[in-house]
Amino acid sequence: MTNCLCYGAHEARADLTPLRIERRALRDDDVAIDIAYCGVCHTDVHFAHNDWGSTVFPCVPGHEIVGHVTAVGRAVSRYKVGDRVAVGCLVDSCQQCAACEAGEEPHCQHGTTPTYNGRDRVSGANTHGGYSQHIVVREKFVLRVPQHLDLRFTGPLLCAGITVWSPLREHNVGEGTRLAVVGLGGLGHMAVKLAVALGAEVTVVTTSPGKADDARALGAHHVLLSTDPQAMAGAVNAFDLILDTIPRKHNVNPYLMLLGRHGKLVLVGALEPLEPIHGALLARNNRSISGSLIGGLAQTQELLDFCAERQVLPQCEMIDIQDINTAFERMERNDVKYRFVIDMASLNGA
């Protein structure tokens, strides 16, 4: 066991403060990682605040982890000390069910082990995330950071990036796809960049008039203000696919109306009850709604390789760990452009 300095929450809605945890001794198939950077996801805010009623305290968030390998277990074959690696939202799954065999680890039939607020499959201990000096992770769940991917910008790909990449690939987004991205935040801005790189015609649907220039700078072809009823009426039937990243309960009906024939709305943001959906809006145009949960390990590696090759990088605001509570407040006020990334070197001064 090694002692590890972290930042975490001791109770709901309390500030995150420095705390110490134990990281397990290396198992044969484990990799020890010194964390260089960790992205800040809106999910971290949800868990720290116990929004979903399932948080085990103390809670050390963080599932957009990048760093260097410092040690490997005896059976590890893919990594060696010094390698640049990354860890996303999951650190284990059964590895035997149909979902795991299909590379869809987030849908493991026996339940996944999330990077934080999960139960370790061997010891039963609560898992702790990347707002920390180091972490120990099963080799299978460690990803390789390609040579030409800047570590500072890699973290947000592990959750924000893969969560939108997965439905973009699932629905074959490419040239000719008319895609709308609802919500220009961490997930949304990655969706814009990735979909543009895939050749789609991309519209940002936003509640923030002030984000229009940014949206275009990120590569979006059009911007639609969702608070402008006339503009929304003008966009009825205009899209093949909508990625909805709104982080809380909302009314999907105004967005459903924007889908053309056989159009699909994929929910990735609000993992909670929605306002009632009007059946007639689904029937018209044979529209459908589906959801999507992060992505499998192979697909995450595919995303890292794609981003390295095409130099598709998130837009990050670097912060010190000491600024994490302000960062959470700013995310709740919708004031982040477009992903906070913690420079973990700052933790040494905590």
- Which residues would be at the binding site for ligand NAP (CB under 6 A)? 41-43, 46, 159-160, 163, 183-188, 206-208, 211, 245-248, 250, 268-269, 271, 292-294, 331, 334, 336
Residue 130's binding partner out of Zn ion, ligand NAP, none, with CB under 5 to 8 Å set by partner kind: none
Interface residues toward Zn ion, by CB under 5 A: 41, 43, 159
Residue 294's binding partner out of ligand NAP, Zn ion, none, with CB under 5 to 8 Å set by partner kind: ligand NAP
Closest residue to ligand NAP using C-beta atoms: 185
Element of type H or E holding 282: helix 279-283
Rounded least distance, CB 76 to ligand NAP, Å: 28
Query: What sign does the CA torsion over 66, 70, 71, 77 have?
Result: positive
Nearest CA-CA partner of 144 in 316, 297, 310, 340: 297
Nearest CA-CA partner of 88 in 259, 297, 274, 275: 297
* Residue 284 DSSP label: G
163 vs 203, beta carbon nearer ligand NAP: 163
Residue 194's binding partner out of ligand NAP, Zn ion, none, with CB under 5 to 8 Å set by partner kind: none
* Residue 125 DSSP label: P
Give the CB-side neighbour count of residue 171, counting CA atoms within 13 A.
Answer: 25
Rounded least distance, CB 233 to ligand NAP, Å: 18
Rounded least distance, CB 69 to ligand NAP, Å: 26
69 vs 294, beta carbon nearer ligand NAP: 294
340 touches 319 (CB < 8 A)? yes
Query: What sign does the CA torsion over 149, 205, 50, 297 have?
Result: negative
How distant, in Å, are the alpha carbons of 26, 84, 127, 129 from that of 113?
A: 17, 23, 8, 12
Rounded least distance, CB 123 to ligand NAP, Å: 26
93 vs 245, beta carbon nearer Zn ion: 245
76 vs 190, beta carbon nearer ligand NAP: 190
48 vs 72, beta carbon nearer Zn ion: 48
